């Protein structure tokens, strides 16, 4: 069962963000290649896994624009590979065209709004806000998995 995968992702995110010791231990296993592979594979099973790579990016990159651009690149690759995989198995995207168009419009609007908001933060403040948002998301994943 895949019910506990979000729990594991949530715990990983919290440990990576808040525990120096565990963060160092986890860093020896979480190459960007492995995280990208997991993000794509797990994304097919459990949905949203974009936050999986963000704690690593926060530790390695200090420029807020580079963090967002790198995270966006990971998500583009991840979603692109999922589109290919679903296409190969015969998924009928046309049945969901209205939903897909709405999702694309929402993503574009979110990117635009995010760009405007990001300009209002210093790199340091952006990292703090992102860390808090990732923590809330991780706690929600853990809570949902335990219900």
Residues in the chain: 147
Residue 52 has pLDDT above 70, yes or no: yes
CA-closest candidate to residue 70, choices 59, 86, 82: 59
* Model confidence pLDDT, tens digit, residues 90-135: 999 999 999 999 999 999 999 999 999 999 999 999 999 999 999 9
Q: What is the pLDDT of residue 1?
A: 67
**What domain range is 134 assigned to?**
5-146
Mean pLDDT over the full length of the chain: 86
Residue 144 has pLDDT above 80, yes or no: yes
Distance CA 26, CA 29 (A): 5
Which residues fall within 8 angstroms of residue 121, CB to CB, at 6 or more apart? Answer: 64, 129
CA-closest candidate to residue 55, choices 8, 22, 28, 23: 23
- Tell me how many domains the chain contains: 1
Whether 50 and 71 have beta carbons less than 8 Å apart is answered as yes
Residue 2: pLDDT band (50, 70, 90) is confident
| pTM exceeding 0.85 | no
What's the gap between Cα 41 and its chain centre? Answer: 13
Distance CA 9, CA 7 (A): 5
Distance CA 79, CA 114 (A): 20
Integer-rounded Cα Rg, in Å, for the chain is: 16
* Model confidence pLDDT, tens digit, residues 18-43: 988 877 777 766 677 777 777 766 76
């Amino acid at each position: 069962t895949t019910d506990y995968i979000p729990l594991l992702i949530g715990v990983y995110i919290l440990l990576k963000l808040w525990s120096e010791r565990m963060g160092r231990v986890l860093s020896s296993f979480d190459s960007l290649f492995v995280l990208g592979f997991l993000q794509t594979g797990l994304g097919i099973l459990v949905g949203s896994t974009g936050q999986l790579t963000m704690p690593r990016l926060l530790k390695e990159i200090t420029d807020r624009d580079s963090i967002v651009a790198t995270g966006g690149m990971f998500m583009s690759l991840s979603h692109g590979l999922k589109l290919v995989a679903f296409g190969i198995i015969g998924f009928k995207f046309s049945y969901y065209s209205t939903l897909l168009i709405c999702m694309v419009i929402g993503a574009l609007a979110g990117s635009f709004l995010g760009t405007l908001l990001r300009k209002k933060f210093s790199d340091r403040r952006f990292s703090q806000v992102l860390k808090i948002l990732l923590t809330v998301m991780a706690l929600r994943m853990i809570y949902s998995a335990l219900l």
